[in-house]
Amino acid sequence: MRRISTNSEFEKSVGYSRAVVDEHYVHVSGTTGFDYETMTISDDPAEQAHQAFANIARALAAARVSFAHLVRVTYFISDADDYPVLTPIFKHYLGPNPPAATALIAQPIDPRIRIEIEATARRASPNQNRNIGLGQE
């Protein structure tokens, strides 16, 4: 098992890894729109979503996978009114290879956080990119 860290203040103070890689999966912790280098965050939920995906992309790249390998995402959104603004951003990053997904309205630890995204990727396997519809095999 391998642990990936961004060395953010959050990881240091709370004691967690940005991602954990095992033989088959990459588990990415809940990731917010903070720029971990400057520890700043935009007030705009769309900008936060773009930054969260950038943070996730870096963690996935460190694990040698990409958004195409995601099998599951969970979106934690602090305000239901932000959902229509966020869905096109989700599709922008994940639309070509849509994972299973859940969106929840939740109260974040920090009131500046408008969205947090948790993700799981499957490491390469021969049948990974096979897409079938329901009832098809």
Determine whether domain 2-122 maps to CATH 3.90.230.10.
no
> Helix 45-62 to helix 83-94 angle, to the nearest 10 degrees?
30
Strand, helix or coil for residue 135: coil
**The dihedral of CA 34, 35, 41, 47: what is its sign?**
negative
Stated pTM of the model: 0.87
Taking only the tens place, the pLDDT of each residue in 70-110 is 999 999 999 999 999 999 999 999 999 999 999 999 999 99
> From CA 11, how far away is CA 6, in angstroms rounded?
8
> From CA 62, how far away is CA 56, in angstroms rounded?
10
> From CA 85, how far away is CA 45, in angstroms rounded?
8
Taking only the tens place, the pLDDT of each residue in 22-74 is 999 999 999 999 998 898 999 999 999 999 999 999 999 999 999 999 999 99
- Domain range annotation of the chain: 2-122
